[in-house]
A and B are shown apart, each in its own frame.
Chain A
Amino acid sequence: MSDVMGLRRNYETDVLIIGGGSAGTMAAIKAKERFPGLNVTILEKAHIRRSGAIAMGMDGLNNAVIPGKATPEEYVWEITRANDGILDQRTVLYFAREGYSMVKELDSWGVKFSKDDRGDFIVHKVHMEGRYVVPMPEGSDLKRILYKKVKSRHITTINRVMATSILTRNNRVVGVTGLNVFTGEFVVIKASAVILTTGAAGRLGLPATGYLYGTYENPTNAGDGYAMAYRAGAQLTSLEAVMIVPLLKDYNGPACAYVAGPYGGYTADPDGERLTGNDYWSGELIMHMYQAKQRGQWPAFLKLDHLPEKDIAFIEHVLHSNERPSRDRFHANRGTNYRHRMLEMSLSEPSLCSGHSASGILVDEQARTTLEGLYAAGDVASVPHQYLLGAFVIGKLAGESAALYAKGASSSEPDPAQIDQEYERVYRPLHNSDGYHHEEVEYKIRRTFSQYSTPPKSGTMMNIGMERFRDIRMQDIPRLSAHDPHELGRTLEVPFILDCAEMSTMSSLYRKESRWGFLHYRLDYPTRDDVNGLYRTIVGRTPEGTMMVGQIPVPDPIITDKSSAPAQPVNK
């Protein structure tokens, strides 16, 4: 066992960012830019050089509003429809308006986007109506570029420390605790403002392969931020709108829409005919696929074999060198090739991710959560369908807002009793030398979520699922066991995953209608109810520590059709 296991190490900073992925690195850069005198620190479970969804780059920006190609209002209207009306249009409009200047800034930093002969950004149409996809076929450098920016700006980075809890005093955030997953040290960081950018809750359901870490999302993102925000007293929303996306069967890379779609690739039925009208990833698309399955038109296939060789070669180059570059090996093992026949697709496991769907911590137009001093951005913050560019734009907003808050805030000491309690919780699994291994308990939670809480959903099934989750919480969590710092980290993720499973199931039980196509399709309430259903679910924790679900109204829409200008000025 490591000789520093359990030792305490203290830090102090003005702005603390938890998670140095897309949103976190940008938040740090922009907080520092806003007030260079502030101390800005990133806490990262992995190493920021290669952490998060974009560790190996990305194929493109899925949703940039580029002048001349689309307008922010058109975009907001498109996302309002894709998300069935349940959103705060102000944050989406802010995102749409700020996206272009972010794209230009990334371009000036050396991120390589596709451009035409005149040097203008190439923009592809994938969405139902508008043109928003900006390809980055040579985008594998993206994380390296952000890493260098962080390094050059005197931002402190603490790698290999996993945040385990948010410290509060008088309903205000005062710091964070963490575990060094390499050494076992216990870390306490006092901070005036904290930004959560921990990404999706990717380890919620079981992938088709049954391999626990074969998730679509980077499995480092286990939902820690969702659970820590909940435990600290912040509110979360739309956790019933789980993310499910179409993937290649067994390989966790995107199948079609964004890269192959613009060149004529499509999702096909077994006869090679188009299965879906439009391949933009939405709950409606997944519903079309589910219905096709019920009709026997299944599996779905990725169809590229009708395309000219030069287009197939280009698509293959992008898919095999960027984002998920082990894909060539998967095909080599299976003897499959885009040229020879269509490739089997399937649906991903369910997860929570506002980047692709809507589930996240409730944030306002300044990226503030409902807990004072706590900000959130990226996949963990509810700004529907925000994808990578949203992580950057809302990350920047969170960085700037948090910096402004930290500048004016009086610093407050964390409560020693709260720290000691967390210390005890963190190291408890070391004392259960013969308890359960994290993998077994995680498997059981995720199996239960896949079988009882995944669409098509029903009240009876979800209530049984909740009983199982409660049993696991009472009987199995206290018996989790770990033997070294790494295992301890994985073990601490298990209760976070359980929190996410319960919060999502409770939200799904609350919403007695169907919405977001397949994502919240309830067999016992199969239709969408626009009279009673136009609200946002809210999950929160009562002072007694029980989970509560309720609702808040959807903020009044400011854009009610695709050409409408906002009725009132929107500022950040």
Chain B
Amino acid sequence: MTSVTKRTSPNVIVDRDKCIGCDICVQVCPMGILAMDKEKKAYMKYNECWYCLPCEVDCPVDAITVEIPYLVR
């Protein structure tokens, strides 16, 4: 069986200019869906967000904006 790639729109937006790579959002996300990329910037790696906001509230430099996922909007 081969697999196809599904394109979905991320609802957690990281402002890469602001992000200082502190990893806090990655640690606090209950769903474990955020990660750091090669340039030490946070990004949404898995599309399983509960739009609960710890990542946004705990980010020390306000780099994260959580939108309501498309299906819920």
Cross-chain pairs A/B with CB under 8 angstroms, 9 sampled = A56-B57, A213-B49, A219-B50, A251-B72, A329-B68, A330-B73, A434-B1, A435-B1, A486-B45
B45, A211: Cβ atoms under 8 Å?
Answer: no
- Given contact pairs A55-B30, A251-B72, enumerate 13 new A-B contacts (beta carbons under 8 Å): A46-B31, A47-B30, A49-B27, A50-B28, A52-B30, A56-B54, A181-B32, A210-B71, A213-B48, A213-B69, A214-B69, A214-B71, A214-B72
**A236–B45 CA distance with the chains assembled, in angstroms:** 36
A221 CB to nearest B CB, Å: 9
A46, B29: Cβ atoms under 8 Å?
Answer: yes
A434, B46: Cβ atoms under 8 Å?
Answer: no
B54, A55: Cβ atoms under 8 Å?
Answer: yes
Cβ–Cβ < 8 Å partners of B72 in chain A: 209, 211, 214, 250-252, 330
B50 CB to nearest A CB, Å: 5
A454 contacts the other chain (Cβ, under 8 Å)?
no
Among A215, A218, A333, A486, the residue within 8 A (CB) of B32 is: A486
A220, B30: Cβ atoms under 8 Å?
Answer: yes
Cβ–Cβ < 8 Å partners of B68 in chain A: 326, 329-330, 333
A47, B50: Cβ atoms under 8 Å?
Answer: no
A459 contacts the other chain (Cβ, under 8 Å)?
no
**A159–B52 CA distance with the chains assembled, in angstroms:** 19
Which residue of chain B is the closest to A182 with respect to CB atoms? B32
A486, B46: Cβ atoms under 8 Å?
Answer: yes
**A160–B54 CA distance with the chains assembled, in angstroms:** 16
Among A50, A211, A218, A434, the residue within 8 A (CB) of B69 is: A211
Cβ–Cβ < 8 Å partners of B48 in chain A: 212-213, 219, 490
Interface residues of B in 19-73 (CB under 8 A from A): 27-33, 45-46, 48-54, 57-58, 66-69, 71-73
Cβ–Cβ < 8 Å partners of B73 in chain A: 330, 333-334
B1, A489: Cβ atoms under 8 Å?
Answer: no
A residues engaging B (CB < 8 A)? 45-47, 49-52, 55-56, 159-160, 181-182, 209-215, 218-220, 250-252, 324-326, 329-330, 333-334, 434-435, 437, 486-487, 489-490
Which residue of chain B is the closest to A181 with respect to CB atoms? B32
Cβ–Cβ < 8 Å partners of B46 in chain A: 486-487, 490
Cβ–Cβ < 8 Å partners of A334 in chain B: 73
Cβ–Cβ < 8 Å partners of B66 in chain A: 326, 329
Among A45, A252, A329, A434, the residue within 8 A (CB) of B67 is: A329
Which residue of chain B is the closest to A219 with respect to CB atoms? B50
A46, B32: Cβ atoms under 8 Å?
Answer: yes
Interface of B is mostly: loop
Among A45, A251, A324, A437, the residue within 8 A (CB) of B52 is: A324
The contact size tier of chain B is 20 to 34
Cβ–Cβ < 8 Å partners of A250 in chain B: 72
A20 CB to nearest B CB, Å: 11
Cβ–Cβ < 8 Å partners of B53 in chain A: 56, 325-326
Which residue of chain B is the closest to A207 with respect to CB atoms? B72
**A152–B67 CA distance with the chains assembled, in angstroms:** 35
B3 contacts the other chain (Cβ, under 8 Å)?
yes
Which residue of chain A is the closest to B1 with respect to CB atoms? A434
A209, B51: Cβ atoms under 8 Å?
Answer: no
**A435–B51 CA distance with the chains assembled, in angstroms:** 29
B9 contacts the other chain (Cβ, under 8 Å)?
no
A56, B69: Cβ atoms under 8 Å?
Answer: no
A50, B58: Cβ atoms under 8 Å?
Answer: yes
**A210–B69 CA distance with the chains assembled, in angstroms:** 11
A441 CB to nearest B CB, Å: 14
B52, A55: Cβ atoms under 8 Å?
Answer: yes
**A56–B54 CA distance with the chains assembled, in angstroms:** 7
Given A211-B72, A333-B68, A486-B46: A47 and B52 interface contact (C-beta under 8 Å): no
**A56–B53 CA distance with the chains assembled, in angstroms:** 8
> Top 3 closest A-B pairs, CB basis?
A50-B54, A211-B71, A46-B30
**A159–B29 CA distance with the chains assembled, in angstroms:** 12
Cβ–Cβ < 8 Å partners of A437 in chain B: 3
A51, B30: Cβ atoms under 8 Å?
Answer: yes
A434, B45: Cβ atoms under 8 Å?
Answer: no
**A49–B50 CA distance with the chains assembled, in angstroms:** 16
Most buried by A among B49, B51, B69, B73: B51
Cβ–Cβ < 8 Å partners of B71 in chain A: 209-211, 214
Cβ–Cβ < 8 Å partners of B29 in chain A: 46, 50
Cβ–Cβ < 8 Å partners of A210 in chain B: 71
**A45–B49 CA distance with the chains assembled, in angstroms:** 15
**A56–B30 CA distance with the chains assembled, in angstroms:** 11
Cβ–Cβ < 8 Å partners of A51 in chain B: 30
**A209–B48 CA distance with the chains assembled, in angstroms:** 14
Most buried by A among B49, B52, B69: B52
**A490–B45 CA distance with the chains assembled, in angstroms:** 14
**A219–B47 CA distance with the chains assembled, in angstroms:** 13
**A250–B30 CA distance with the chains assembled, in angstroms:** 21
**A80–B50 CA distance with the chains assembled, in angstroms:** 34
A326, B2: Cβ atoms under 8 Å?
Answer: no
**A325–B50 CA distance with the chains assembled, in angstroms:** 11
**A213–B67 CA distance with the chains assembled, in angstroms:** 14
Among A182, A214, A219, the residue within 8 A (CB) of B31 is: A219
**A46–B50 CA distance with the chains assembled, in angstroms:** 13
Among B28, B49, B69, the residue within 8 A (CB) of A47 is: B28
Which residue of chain B is the closest to A490 with respect to CB atoms? B48
B51, A326: Cβ atoms under 8 Å?
Answer: yes
Which residue of chain A is the closest to B35 with respect to CB atoms? A486
Given A55-B52, A329-B67: A220 and B31 interface contact (C-beta under 8 Å): yes
B3, A50: Cβ atoms under 8 Å?
Answer: no
**A330–B22 CA distance with the chains assembled, in angstroms:** 29
